[in-house]
Amino acid sequence: MRKLTPVLLLLLLAACAPRLSGVDPNRPPSPDTWDPQPAPVEWWYVSAYLPEDELAFHWAFFKYYVPERYRVLGLPARSVFPYPFASAHLAVTDLAADRFAFEEKHDFPGVSAVIEGHPLRLELEGWTFAETPGGFELNAGPLRLTLKPEKPAVVHPPGWSGDERVGRMYYVSYTRVALSGTIYGRPVQGVAWIDHQWGDQMSGATALWDWYGLHLSNGDDLMLYRIRDAAGNLVKLQGSKITKDGRVYPLLDLRMSPFLEWTSPRTGFTYNVAWRISGRGWSLDVRPKRLEQEIFSPDVPVAYWEGPVEGGGIWWGKPVTAWGMGEFVGGLAGWARQAK
């Protein structure tokens, strides 16, 4: 048998490398894009704050390829590992017990996750998120939930987050989803939020962000985020108004001003966790329900704060209350910070 020369081996490995694509800013996605996409980074989030039950949770499933610049034994890493890996996070907040529990699962290097479309099914070591005829089902840790969208999926204007400096992510959401089921065996019901993002933005390494997904008492929903570069400089501030009947509009003249900080004793990151957010026609003050909500472990490359928030203010001339989830990214942590 003819031996493979190093050059021929390299060519064969390169042929196995996946053909991935980032974000084309001139082509926004369809709002019904929920199946896996050929992107370097992709994730699905399900999160909810259930005030009547004094519970909140954040479940995330990440699909990612080895970064293009990485090399293994001198070879392009994507040629050596031409398949995606997966990770999943679950954080549950019990406000009545003042308890925050975090679990995580990874399939590196075993590649054990199920990532399928038509219909969507994500599975990793017993945690499943599956599309159903009426919506979705989520079974993970103490969560046994049925999720039925009350509004159509939307594309957040202009269709993606970020820019060419920090990378971009396509962004679609179900912003108001009827939730029912059990958490820790307790019957629950309320409103959830489901996100799908995919592109070439490297969280924590090239981009940091502060994000809100809020439900308003008048039936509208609000998505707001600001993206910063790795040095903390503001890159983009954008937001969406999703009306009671499901129409989506970009928010104009946006401002975000923090008024409360919390510093993590584990990572040393300081998070702005309370904000006065405003734009043309509205202004809200939003505060956390609990301060110690940082997600970080030795196996998680990025530390971020994720937790229930509430607030209120004026929304197009009328008073409203708001509740939902906030996410504030601290940056690379642990081994990832040392390896940068």
pLDDT tens for residues 171-222? 999 999 999 999 999 999 999 999 999 999 887 778 999 999 999 999 999 9
Summarize the confidence of residues 252-269 as an average pLDDT. 96
pLDDT confidence of 319, banded at 50, 70, 90? very high
Question: Is the pLDDT higher at 203 or at 66?
Answer: 203
pLDDT the model gives residue 336: 46
Summarize the confidence of residues 93-110 as an average pLDDT. 92
Is pLDDT above 90 for 69? no
Mean pLDDT score across all residues of the chain: 90
Is pLDDT above 70 for 60? yes
Q: pTM for the full model?
A: 0.91
What is the C-alpha separation between 177 and 188, in angstroms, rounded?
14
Question: Is the pLDDT higher at 320 or at 338?
Answer: 320
Assigned domain for 15 exists? no
Torsion 147-152-153-157 (CA) sign: negative
Assigned domain for 27 exists? no
For residue 10, give the H/E element and its range. helix 6-16
Pick the range with the lowest mean pLDDT from 86-95, 269-278, 326-335: 326-335
* Domain of residue 320, residue span: 34-339
When divided into structural domains, the chain yields a total of: 1
Q: How many Cβ atoms sit within 10 Å of the Cβ of residue 48? A: 28
Summarize the confidence of residues 224-243 as an average pLDDT. 94
Is pLDDT above 70 for 89? yes
Pick the range with the lowest mean pLDDT from 28-37, 130-139, 178-187, 324-333: 324-333
Is pLDDT above 70 for 170? yes
**Closest alpha carbon to 190 in 51, 288, 325, 96:** 51
Is pLDDT above 50 for 1? no
CA distances 251 to 160, 256, 283, Å, are 14, 13, 12
pLDDT confidence of 169, banded at 50, 70, 90? very high
Is pLDDT above 70 for 38? yes
Whichever domain contains 151, its CATH number is 2.40.370.10
Assigned domain for 8 exists? no
Is pLDDT above 80 for 2? no
**Closest alpha carbon to 180 in 293, 52, 35:** 52
pLDDT the model gives residue 242: 98
Is pLDDT above 70 for 73? no
Assigned domain for 38 exists? yes
pLDDT the model gives residue 14: 46
Assigned domain for 333 exists? yes
Q: Do the beta carbons of residue 236 and residue 212 sit within 8 Å?
A: no
Question: Is the pLDDT higher at 104 or at 300?
Answer: 104
Q: Do the beta carbons of residue 223 and residue 325 sit within 8 Å?
A: no
Assigned domain for 276 exists? yes
Q: Do the beta carbons of residue 85 and residue 62 sit within 8 Å?
A: no
pLDDT the model gives residue 300: 74
pLDDT the model gives residue 70: 63
Is pLDDT above 50 for 338? no
Assigned domain for 158 exists? yes
| Per-residue exposure over 203-232, b if at least 16 CB sit within 10 Å of its own CB, e if not | bbbbbbbbbbbbbbeeebbbbbbbbbbeee
* Amino acid at residue number 170: Y
Cis bond before residue 158 (omega within 30° of 0): yes
Assigned domain for 283 exists? yes
Is pLDDT above 90 for 4? no
Q: Which two structure tokens, joined as six digits, stand for 289?
A: 């329900």
Summarize the confidence of residues 103-118 as an average pLDDT. 89
What is the C-alpha separation between 272 and 284, in angstroms, rounded?
16
Q: What share of the chain in percent tops pLDDT 90?
A: 77
CA distances 164 to 23, 79, 160, 172, 302, Å, are 10, 25, 11, 19, 21
pLDDT confidence of 12, banded at 50, 70, 90? very low
Query: In sequence order, which residues have a C-beta less than 8 Å from that of residue 231 and are 6 or more positions away?
Result: none
Q: Do the beta carbons of residue 178 and residue 194 sit within 8 Å?
A: no
